[in-house]
Structure 1
Amino acid sequence: MPPEPFDSPASPPLHEPASLAPRDHETARSSRRGNRRLPRRAAAARRSFTSTLKALDGLAASGAKVSVRINDLDRGTSVLSGDDFVTLPVAGLGVVPLLIELAAAFESGALDPFEIIERTSVPPVHVAGVWQHLKAPALPLVDLAVLTGSAGDATAANALLERVGLPAVRSRIEKLGLARSALLDGFRDERGPDDAPQVALGSARELAELFAALVNSEVVSAGVSAQVSEWLSLNHDLSLVAGATGLDPFAHENDDHGLLFINKTGRDAGIRAEAGVLAGPRAGVSYALIVCFDDLSIAHRLRAHEAFRTLGVDLMEYVF
């Protein structure tokens, strides 16, 4: 018998709401897009996410666990969802609450942004990042935040987590109302039986809503939201959903074509995750996609990557 499609009764279907009622106010990110506002939804029928649905159906039929959520920022409604309530591993995407707690501590004065942290304060880790390759043996907290947001630097993130404290981050997650998200541990080269099995967990719904709240200045305070958004806007990893944007991975803060974009990705064996905000002249969205798959070959991995890029193309059609 052929495998069940992703939207079978065994799994809540991906869907597009039949009615999208407009909101009474514009979001904060509208001002960052300037005054070049074209008529909304002029091509709504064309922006149907059909290709994304097909790609995600294929992944789910092959045994992958897929969770997706897209929210329209102006209308405050869900555009696409599928198993968005399911908690899955999100790898490095889980550092976003850490950056939020750090920014809040900077704002309150609990931490000095220029406090110097020695690299030797945490055990060496040789996964993603650049600090391990730099000659500088110590850096200020604020620079470690830049490395964490821009390069997914594992050593920098671990140093921040050591200074901020895992209990403080967990408390912040609770205050943010993220009931299905957790930062469990720092980054490790190998995980033993006494270590947490994952760096972090999350759901697509909560991640999409968190990124929407960041660009709408609703996370802790306007200042904290702006600071975290700035760090995330430096992210160099535009290889998944963001591959469809055509943005320069190393300089995309101010796009000439009026595209606002921030994102964070998570990668581990058999895990790919991304959440972010994409806004163009017609519309803006917050999104999150998590795929957990059997990383048996490069073909399995590329198939997962292609689903992210397909979503990126559909999102570009939606916002432009």
Structure 2
Amino acid sequence: MSSSTEWSVLAVEIGSGEVLLETAPDLLLPTASVGKLFLLHHLAELLDDDPSLARRMLRKDSVAPVADSGLWQHLDAPALTVADCARLVGAVSDNLATNVLLDHVGLAPVQAVAARSAPGGSMLNDVVRDVRAPEDPPMLSIGCAADWVHYFRTPHPTVLSWLAPSTDLSMVSSAFGLDPLAHAEPVPAGPADALQVWSKTGTDDGVRAEVGLLEVDGRRAAYAVICRFEGEVVPVLRRMREYGTLLLDALRDGGSGLEAYDPGPGPAR
């Protein structure tokens, strides 16, 4: 792995507060789509105040087309409800749904949510853009592991419902053995285990990030693994899976998995 690779990692067991994984948790790095969580949280709070907002229809042509992640750009439906747009963001990190929602609620209120809920400086900087001009923010979002673990220690339940079917299990969650298309409910993970994960990932050139909440047989850990790198992505994904194994073992074994599993040379833990 390149010497220029940077990691921000933290995992904390929610019940005890025990730190399970830790590497530069306050280091701010690019986090790509992870910052969309601030949008989802703002929407969840708006729905708390006005549940009828969930049924409001939003048109896909209210914003400029945007490519890459998501399904709505490939669907015939010209409009979706606010709730369905949020579900698309949670499940497939839908870029078009993200921009339609941001157009509806505004970026400034979402950034206000980030400012009050992420003391370390994590932020959604902009809408999603196919091309970033010099006058645009250089990256969609920034974040540090400490902020996201802080968030997932007391997450909004509606946000969790939107994240439950997230299909991207290519990073930390690749260690959990889940079906990427069918894991919204707890699944057996051993003789006595029931496992569930709620996660949001971010992918960009030289960026891989996953933040979330893992529950194993009633024990929960909030976690965040963020990496900025140069060169090959495969070693980064391999290390992220190793972190996932460490986390899973720690929840199963009360922390003994941290000593029992050595990921080899790399970031401290």
TM > 0.5 fold call? yes
Residue from 248, 259, 267 that aligns with 2:179:
248
Q: 1:282 to 1:107 in 2, by over 3 A?
A: closer
1:123 to 2:64 alignment: yes
Query: Which letter does structure 2 place at the counterpart of 1:207?
Result: W
Aligned to 1:316: 248
1: CA distance between counterparts of 2:135 and 2:53?
A: 33
Q: After TM superposition, which residue ranges in structure 1, 4 or more long, deviate above 6 angstroms?
A: none
Aligned to 2:198: 262
1:208 to 2:144 alignment: no
2: CA distance between counterparts of 1:111 and 1:95?
A: 22
Query: Which letter does structure 2 place at the counterpart of 1:208?
Result: V
2: CA distance between counterparts of 1:275 and 1:290?
A: 8
Aligned to 1:48: none
1:278 to 2:218 alignment: no
Aligned to 1:97: 38
The question of whether the paired residues in 1 share the 8 Å contact of 2:21 and 2:247 is answered with no
Please state whether the residue corresponding to 2:186 is helix, strand or coil: coil
Query: Which letter does structure 1 place at the counterpart of 2:64?
Result: P
1: CA distance between counterparts of 2:120 and 2:240?
A: 25
Deviation at 1:255, TM superposition (A): 2.5
Task: Give the superposed CA RMSD.
Answer: 1.5
Deviation at 1:247, TM superposition (A): 1.0
Q: Which runs of 5+ in 1 are unaligned?
A: 1-58, 215-224
Residue from 225, 232, 236 that aligns with 1:304:
236
Deviation at 1:284, TM superposition (A): 2.4
Percent of aligned pairs with the same amino acid: 34
TM-score, with structure 1 as normaliser = 0.74
Query: Which letter does structure 2 place at the counterpart of 1:284?
Result: R
What does residue range 15-34 of structure 1 map to in structure 2 within 5 Å?
none
1: CA distance between counterparts of 2:216 and 2:117?
A: 27
Aligned to 2:223: 287
Deviation at 1:260, TM superposition (A): 2.3
2: CA distance between counterparts of 1:318 and 1:156?
A: 36
1: CA distance between counterparts of 2:149 and 2:120?
A: 14
Please state whether the residue corresponding to 2:239 is helix, strand or coil: helix
Query: Which letter does structure 1 place at the counterpart of 2:239?
Result: A
What does residue range 165-184 of structure 1 map to in structure 2 within 5 Å?
165-184=106-125
Aligned to 1:222: none
Equivalent pairs counted in the alignment come to 247
TM-score, with structure 2 as normaliser = 0.88
Q: 1:177 to 1:264 in 2, by over 3 A?
A: closer
1: CA distance between counterparts of 2:229 and 2:172?
A: 17
Larger radius of gyration: 1
Deviation at 1:179, TM superposition (A): 3.9
Higher normalized strand content (fraction of residues): 2
Q: Tell me the alpha carbon deviations over residues 241-297 of structure 1, each in whole angstroms, 9 at most, x when there is no partner.
A: 111111111111222321121110000010000011112127321110110011x4x
Query: Which letter does structure 2 place at the counterpart of 1:309?
Result: R
The question of whether the paired residues in 1 share the 8 Å contact of 2:40 and 2:159 is answered with yes
